[in-house]
Structures are given as C-alpha cells and as structure tokens.
Amino acid sequence: MDIANSFGSIDILWSPVTFAVLVSLTTVLLLRAFAPARVLGMRDRLGDYVGKVDIIEEHEMSQSFAARVLVPLLRRILRVTGKVVPKRNTEGTAALLQQIGNPGGLTVIDFYGLRLLLAVVVGFGCFLVMARFIPATEAMRNALVGCAAGYMLPSMWLKSRAKARKKECVRAMPDALDMLTVGVEAGLAFESAMLTVGQKWSNALTREFERSVAEMRVGVPRDEALQRMADRVGAEELSMFVAVLVQSSQLGVSISEVLHTQAAQMRTRRRQRAEELARQAGIKMIFPLTLFIFPAMLVVILGPSIPAFQSFFGSGIGGLGGMP
C-alpha cells in the first residue's frame, strides 16, 4: 500500500490548523536551539551558597569548648602581656623555639607573655599560701622569689628542651646517614631516600627530613631546604653535613660518595664522643661518692666503735678530773 495515499486519506493532517501548529512548533524549537545561554544573575549565584554548609564553621563548631574559646582567649592574653616585656633576646628565643619545633604555634611574644603570666600567678599563689602562716612582709619576700622562679622556669624549660632535641638528632645522625647511603646506592633519589628514612624511622631528625622533603616539593630549592633544616636543629654536626652536601652538589660530586664519606666520619665522631664521655665518668662520680657514698661508709665502719670511743674518752676525762 502506498504511504502517500494512506496519509492523503486523513484530511486532518492537511488542514490549516495542523499546518499552523507545526510551523509554530518548528519556530519555537529553532529559537530555543539558537538562543544564547542564560547568564546567571547575582542572586542566582549567591543562592547556590546560601543553602550550603560552611566547612570552616562546621570544623570549628565540632571542636571542644576549650579549643574554641579558652585557647584563643589565653593566646590573646599572652600576646597582650608579651608586648609589655622588653625584647632584648628575641632572636635567641626565636631560634630556640624553632629548634623545638614551635609547639602549639608558640611565637616569641606568646613565650614572653607566658613567662610574665606565670611569674604573676606563682608569686600571687605563694603570697596567698604563706600569708596564713608567716608575717606579711616575709610572705611578700617569698612571693618575690616565687615571681622570679616563675619567670625563669619557661626559659629553663625551653633551653633544656632544645638541648635534648639537639642531642637526639646528633645521636641519630650516623644511623640516618647509613640508611641514606643505602637508599641512594640502591637507586633512589636523594629526596626519595630522605622520605624513605622518615617513613621507616621516627625521631626528631627523620621528622626534619620529612619536613625538608615537603618544602622541596612545594618549590623550595634543595640547598635552601637543607640549610633551613640545619638552622632548625642547630647541631654542629648537621650543619657541617649540610655544608658539605651543598658544596658537593655545586661542584658536581657524586652524592653517594659524599654520603658514604660523611657516614663514616659520623660513626668515627660517635665513637670519639663515647670515649670522651667514658673518660669524664670518673671525674663526675667524685661528687656522688663524696656526698652520698662516703658518709654512709663511714657510718657503717665507724658506727660500732663510737660507744667504745665515748666510754674510753669519758673515763679518761673523768680520771684526769679526779687527779690532784
């Protein structure tokens, strides 16, 4: 059957109304096809963010009350009080804070504020406690001593912490250099070897290795990143190693040979340091022997003979007293 004859038998398809509808529909579709894209207005763009949750605000609200309120308040108080303290040794304090890794984001102003705040708290506490048992003048004198102690304690803690961290890095250097040498000779790049040592071993030195590698990955030159690592640690051995490593990279010397030589030298220095400490042990033992062991030995040895000496000298003195 012919398709044209079948469509021709339906009169409604050839009516003017159908033709007008088809033309209108075709026109609308063409306009929609060639119409420019609708530009979102300001309200439309802002509406996309109104219903969304702020990630930063959600993270802050998920923390505890102390982390959201008390810690920022304490840090503000420390900064205000830290501005009152004279800044004579800020560079040295900043270097010590950098050597211990700036715990809690502690700055120099925060540290001085902590010293002043601790001095006031310790002094006031000593005065309140001692004023109940001793006169006010003596309590005030002891409170001044407490203020001085409270002001000096953070500085002593900072120096001891920096010294302990430096000692930990120095002790770990020979073994860390051996691991670096093995990694480089196995075919790893120097940065990859540092990262591998940090992943296999956890101490202050390997954490500095990981931090230096992270700085290199964000675009810091290798020599500068290594120099920053040496400045953060503050150890003479690490500064010498970094200086040799930077000089060898500038001269084009093989880094595996440099690492092998430096590792041997570090092992030698560790053995010499152990021998030095062993020689000093005899001298350091004099003080505990004199203060603690010798008095106890005298008591044990001479203790049983003390009554005999007392009776002998007592009788002798009594006999002399009875002579004409």
Give the mean model confidence (pLDDT) for residues 5-32: 67
Q: How do residues 151-193 score in pLDDT, each as one tens digit? A: 888 888 888 888 888 888 888 888 888 888 888 888 888 888 8
Extract the tokens encoding 262: 């430096």
Predicted local distance difference test score (pLDDT) of residue 321: 47
Band of residue 30 on the pLDDT scale cut at 50, 70, 90: confident
* Of the listed ranges 12-16, 47-51, 152-156, the one predicted with least confidence: 47-51
- Rounded CA-CA distance 173/232 in Å is 15
Band of residue 234 on the pLDDT scale cut at 50, 70, 90: confident
Of the candidates 187, 185, 186, 182, which has an alpha carbon nearest to the alpha carbon of residue 197?
A: 182
Predicted local distance difference test score (pLDDT) of residue 63: 65
Give the mean model confidence (pLDDT) for residues 258-278: 87
Q: Provide the residue count of the chain.
A: 324
CB 260 within 8 A of CB 247: no
* Of the listed ranges 38-52, 175-189, 228-242, the one predicted with least confidence: 38-52
Phi, psi for 187 (deg, rounded to 5):
115, 0
Extract the tokens encoding 260: 């092998």
Q: How do residues 66-125 score in pLDDT, each as one tens digit? A: 666 666 666 676 666 656 555 666 777 777 877 777 766 677 777 777 788 888 888 888
- Rounded CA-CA distance 40/224 in Å is 48
Torsion-angle region of 107 (φ positive above 0: left; ψ -120 to 50: alpha; else: beta): beta
Helix (H) or strand (E) holding 255: helix 255-284
Predicted local distance difference test score (pLDDT) of residue 59: 59
Of the candidates 215, 226, 176, 167, which has an alpha carbon nearest to the alpha carbon of residue 196?
A: 176
- Rounded CA-CA distance 15/198 in Å is 85
CATH of domain 165-286: 1.20.81
Give the domain ranges of the chain. 67-163, 165-286
Predicted local distance difference test score (pLDDT) of residue 323: 47
Predicted local distance difference test score (pLDDT) of residue 201: 85
- Rounded CA-CA distance 163/235 in Å is 9
Of the candidates 178, 225, 232, which has an alpha carbon nearest to the alpha carbon of residue 201?
A: 178
* pTM, rounded to two decimals: 0.61
